[in-house]
Every structure is written in C-alpha cells, then in structure tokens.
Amino acid sequence: MAFKFVNTDLNKKVGAKLQRVRQREGVSQQNVADDLGFSSTTYSKLENGKVDFTVTRLEQLANYFKVNICDFLDSGIDIPRLLQDMKFPVDYKVLEAKYELLWELYEAKNK
C-alpha cells in the first residue's frame, strides 16, 4: 500500500490565492465550477484547501484566470499576477541579448 503525503498547509495557501484571484475577477465559485466542469463542492474544497491540487488542475485554473501558475506556489506573492501584466517574455529577450553580448566580449578577451 502506497503512502500519500498531503501538504494541507500548502493546499490552504494555494486555495487562499485562488479565492483572491476569483474575487478580483468578480466571479462566483459556481461560475468557475460550471465553466471548468467541476462540481461546486469540489471547487469550494479547492479554495478552502481541503483537497490536493494536481498540476493539471492548477494549470487549468491558471489558464482560466490568465495568471502565472508559478505565483500560486511562490510564498512571496499574495495574489497571482495576470499574464498580461507580466513582462517576462520581453525581459527574457533582453537578458538573453545581454548574455550573448557578454559571452562575445568574454570570448574576444580570451582569444
């Protein structure tokens, strides 16, 4: 028989963030449950940290609310950020360009 570890503290923290995201969007638990094909009881249990979050379910919720999935697990973030407000693709490209420039300078110096 396999032992299943349940991190209730993490479930409660993720559930609280999920509730804040839903409230920010101004939708009811029932609306979200209906839209995602959950029972209202299951969705309520998610927000209250009474059931485990699977990666698939967390991704489904993040996509529904258009938020960064990683923010659900980041203890330094109170409410997941909207994807439209994040600049990571642009920031990533800038960092990549800087890295390439630094690499070229390093190679030129060490020739």
What is the per-residue DSSP string for 57-70?
HHHHHHHHHTB-GG
Mean pLDDT computed over 18-37? 97
For residue 6, name the pLDDT band (cuts at 50, 70, 90).
confident
- 61 is a domain residue: yes
Give the three-state DSSP class for 13.
helix
For residue 92, name the pLDDT band (cuts at 50, 70, 90).
low
Q: Please tell me the predicted confidence (pLDDT) of residue 3.
A: 66
- 3 is a domain residue: no
Q: Please tell me the predicted confidence (pLDDT) of residue 88.
A: 59
pTM of the entire predicted model: 0.74
| pLDDT above 60: residue 56 | yes
Same domain, 54 and 101: no
Q: What is the CATH number of the domain that holds 64?
A: 1.10.260.40
- 2 is a domain residue: no
- 44 is a domain residue: yes
Q: Which residue has the higher pLDDT, 5 or 21?
A: 21
Same domain, 51 and 95: no
Q: Please tell me the predicted confidence (pLDDT) of residue 10.
A: 92
Same domain, 70 and 92: no
Same domain, 67 and 89: no
Computed over every residue of the chain, the mean pLDDT equals 88
- Give residue for tokens 């390093």: 106
Helix ranges (H only) for the chain are 8-25, 29-36, 40-47, 55-65, 88-109
Q: Please tell me the predicted confidence (pLDDT) of residue 90.
A: 56
Q: Please tell me the predicted confidence (pLDDT) of residue 107.
A: 77
- 1 is a domain residue: no
- 45 is a domain residue: yes
Instruction: Print the domain residue range for 60.
Output: 8-80
Same domain, 58 and 105: no
| pLDDT above 60: residue 89 | no
Q: Could you give the number of structural domains in the chain?
A: 2
Same domain, 75 and 100: no
